[in-house]
Amino acid sequence: MAKFLEILGPGRVSAVIDLKFIALFAALFVSSSDGINMEGKYLLQLKSEIRDVLHNLDNWSPDDLTPCQWNGVNCTSDYDPVVFSLDLNSMNLSGSVSPSIGGLIHLTYLDLSFNQFSGTIPGEIGNCSKLERLYLNNNNFEGNIPPQLGNLVSLFKCNLCNNKLSGSFPEEIGNLSSLMEFVAYTNDLNGSLPHTIGKLKNLAIFRVGQNLISGSIPVEIGECHNLELLGLAQNQLGGAIPKEIGKLRYLAELILWDNQLSGVIPKELGNCTDLVTLALYQNYLVGDIPVELGNLKNLEKLYLYRNSFNGTIPKEIGNLTLATEIDFSENMLTGKIPAELSSIKGLRLLYLFENQLAGIIPPELCALKNLSKLDLSINYLTGSIPPGLQYLPDLIQLQLFNNMLFGNIPQKLGLYSPLWVVDFSNNNLTGQIPRHLCRHSNLILLNLWSNKLSGNIPPGVTNCKSLVQLRLGGNSLTGGFPSDLCGLENLTTIELDENRFSDPIPPEIGQCKALQRLDLANNFFTHELPGEIGNLSQLVVFNISSNDFGGRMPPEIFNCTMLQRLDLSHNHFEGKLPNEIGELLQLELLILSDNMFSGAIPSIIGKLSHLTELQIGGNQFFGTIPNELGGLSSLQIAMNLSYNNFSGNIPPELGNLALLEFLLLNNNYLTGVIPATFANLSSLRGLNVSYNDLTGPLPPIPLIQSMARSSFIGNKGLCGGPLGECGVSPSSSTSPSLREKSTPFSKIIVIIAAAVGSISLVLIAVVLYFMRRPVETMAPLKEKQLYCSASGTHISPREGFTFHDLVAATDNFDESFVIGRGACGTVYRAITQSGRTVAVKKLASNREGSNIENSFRAEISTLGKIRHRNIVKLYGFTYHNGSKLLLYEYMSSGSLADLLHRESSFPLDWDTRFMIAVGTAEGLSYLHHDCKPHIIHRDIKSSNILLDENFEAHVGDFGLAKLIDVPQLKSMSAIAGSYGYIAPV
């Protein structure tokens, strides 16, 4: 041992060596020969635990006298060279890092970054007391940050980012007196930030975003006087932003987004006059935007969106003359848009959407010649669109949807601007569509839905080669289907619904090979569907309901095997439903109601395993209901077979439809009893079997026994429940004389025939005009009554929950009942008196007033109607003294975040992960595309993906995003544009 110490020499042994390290030295010495020196032995021990698939370390040989010629090793150039640098970055190395690294006590530079090292960071690195730069980033290191790093008093750069480190920050970090840059973002670090951080007087960069850090930001951060970048985004930090940050005069970037920070923005931030980027978005900040922010004369990017700021936008923001991007969206800002913003001449992006701003769009904004993205959507703006906007030379995105704008769209819009996205939907705009919108051949999205526009679609739009989505529904546009659209090879969406288009669909429609969504509902299109529809191999949604189409369904349509939603309702289609319908294996919605289809229902429909809604009411189908329909295991929204000529028994197999919520069999010729298997319809919320030939007592099923009498009348042999005791003569209301067996269409024909002799020919013509959709006034009336009832049920759940019931069920919202927290509120698990488990979300909001309550009720009323197997069901709500509670379906397996990040979680195999990913995509697709109005989620993350007992994904928190009718491109532009600003820091 004495010889061992003699070889090392007195100046070569670290002052702190634990027993493990001494043992390692001894082992290395005992096994040594007269070859490689001690530093070489340490490196060979390091190599022995590394997997080197690319053979980068092959020249590390024990036969050398020193390691100074080895790959990645650098030595001093004196007569007794020592290793001062070890650079192994990007060598595809894996394995663990041996504690022998601590023997390299002369190291000043250590870089193991961009490899696949795993295991823990050895604490022995703390023996390398001369280390100045340490790069362990982009590996798979786990465990704690070793407190021994606090011994590295010479360290001025430390990068640990993109690993799997956990645990809290060691207090010893405050000992790194030379530290200038500390980077540890994208790990799983937790606990609070150490108060000793205030001792780091030289610290310039501190980036620990995308971790699990909680607690508050220590006020001692204000003592780091040289700090230039503070990045704490995507953590769980709470409390207020400390005013002491105002002492940081050199601070250039303050990145605190996506935390749980609350309170107001301290006015002291106005003292940080070197600030270039201020990102406070996605927190719980409240109050006014401080006027002192106007002092930040060097500020370029100001992101305050998705908080709860109220008050007005201070005119002092106009003093930020170097600003290029300002985003105040998704707050509760009121008042007018200040004209002073026009002083920010270099402004490229201005997002003020989803606030409560009123007044006109200031014409002064047209002076912002560098403006490329302007989104003022979802406010209360009035007046006309300023004509000057059409002259902005760099404008690519202009979104003004969901306001109260009126007047004409500036007709030169697009002539001088290379527009990509134009969305003016849901306003009161009149006049014609400008013809220059695609002048620069860049236009991707044109959404003018729900205005009062008239005239034809101009050739400048129909010939726009770059166009991907065209949404013009809900206007008064006229003309035929523009055949020029069929030459646009990028076009995926055509929505012309609710206009006054007419004439046949041209056969050129088959040239739209990229088309995925075609919605022509509620127009005056005529004739038969062209067979060329079958060429649309990418078609997912096809809706031509409420037109004047006739003839047979073209068999070519069954070539569209990607179809998920097919709606041909309210037309004059006739003939049998072909067996080829079974080839549409992706079909989710099949809506053929109110036509003149006849014949038997193909049993192969029972093979459509994805079908969630089947609507074929108001036709002339006959025969028995196929038993195979009981195999539609995904059927959830409704099965509507009403107003047909079905006969025979109700198949007991329908009792297998455990997800089904509405079953409509009324106005047919069904016989026999209501099957006892209906007891298995655990999700059923509405049943109508009225006006058939059913007999026997109602099954002793509580749901059926408690239903309204109108669900069963017209069946002279039924009794029990709301129909009264069996054996008692039925009342006159159920007598056969009041039975209505004919289809709604034939009923109206009879009425009109009787009226011919007593009304003028003019009146007959009017009546005949309205006869073109006869079942609108008959069959759907009954359906709509049920659906109105259904929507009411969605608002008030089956059980009569009250606010006080929920208070009792959660012990006054005690913490012990909390199962989750999110940006919109706290979620509690509640068990009702009947034993039913529900999730209760208590919304976080400080808004009050009758207008807020009415708005809340209106939005939830719409959200309650949403039904999809991958969407968390909203059962109901209550609004009491400003407290807003939402009742959701309880998800027993928790959230995806729980399963991915908690150590005790159930392990997910790849099949389950794939199922969760697909289910999430299905739910989001439904929200973004198929809801009317469309709903953009805006906060999709693993904690908002909830899992049932079968690990089926259900998207949650969707209803807490603002209801908007905006296509996915909105989320790709305004939302992605704003939420993609800052990388994890």
939: annotated active-site residue: yes
Q: For residue 80, which of 44, 60, 106, 109 has the smallest C-alpha distance?
A: 106
Query: Residue 387: is it exposed, middle or buried by C-beta count within 10 angstroms (0-12/13-18/19+)?
Result: middle
Instruction: Compute CA distances 678 → 607, 658, 702, 948, whole Å.
Output: 21, 9, 11, 23
Q: How far apart are CA 349 and CA 973, in angstroms?
A: 12
- Kindly state the DSSP code that residue 56 receives in the 8-state scheme: T
Catalytic residue chosen out of the listed positions 327, 567, 939, 965 = 939
Number of H-type helices and E-type strands within the chain = 14, 61
Q: How far apart are CA 392 and CA 413, in angstroms?
A: 9
Displacement of CA 315 from its chain's centroid (Å) = 34
937 by DSSP, 3-state: which? coil
Helix axes 850-863, 779-795, angle to 10 degrees: 120
Q: For residue 447, which of 474, 415, 481 has the smallest C-alpha distance?
A: 474
E strands along 707-749, which residues?
717-719
Displacement of CA 499 from its chain's centroid (Å) = 30
- β-strand partners of 575: 597
Q: How far apart are CA 738 and CA 730, in angstroms?
A: 13
Q: For residue 418, which of 387, 435, 443, 398 has the smallest C-alpha distance?
A: 443
Instruction: Compute CA distances 292 → 168, 268, 288, 315, whole Å.
Output: 35, 8, 11, 11
* Residue 416 in tokens: 């001088």
Are 817 and 810 in contact, with CB atoms under 8 Å apart? yes
Are 141 and 162 in contact, with CB atoms under 8 Å apart? no
Q: How far apart are CA 795 and CA 803, in angstroms?
A: 14
804 by DSSP, 3-state: which? helix
Cα angle value 576/644/657 (rounded, 5°) = 90
Q: How far apart are CA 667 and CA 645, in angstroms?
A: 8
DSSP conformation letters of 882-902: TEEEEEEE--TT-BHHHHHH-
Are 501 and 483 in contact, with CB atoms under 8 Å apart? no
Cα angle value 666/669/675 (rounded, 5°) = 70
Q: For residue 260, which of 235, 231, 290 has the smallest C-alpha distance?
A: 235
Q: For residue 204, which of 167, 161, 157 has the smallest C-alpha distance?
A: 157
* Residue 419 in tokens: 């527009």
Are 44 and 36 in contact, with CB atoms under 8 Å apart? yes
For the chain, how big is the Rg over CA atoms in Å?
Answer: 35
HSE (CB half, 13 Å, CA atoms) of 717? 11
Catalytic residue numbers?
Answer: 939
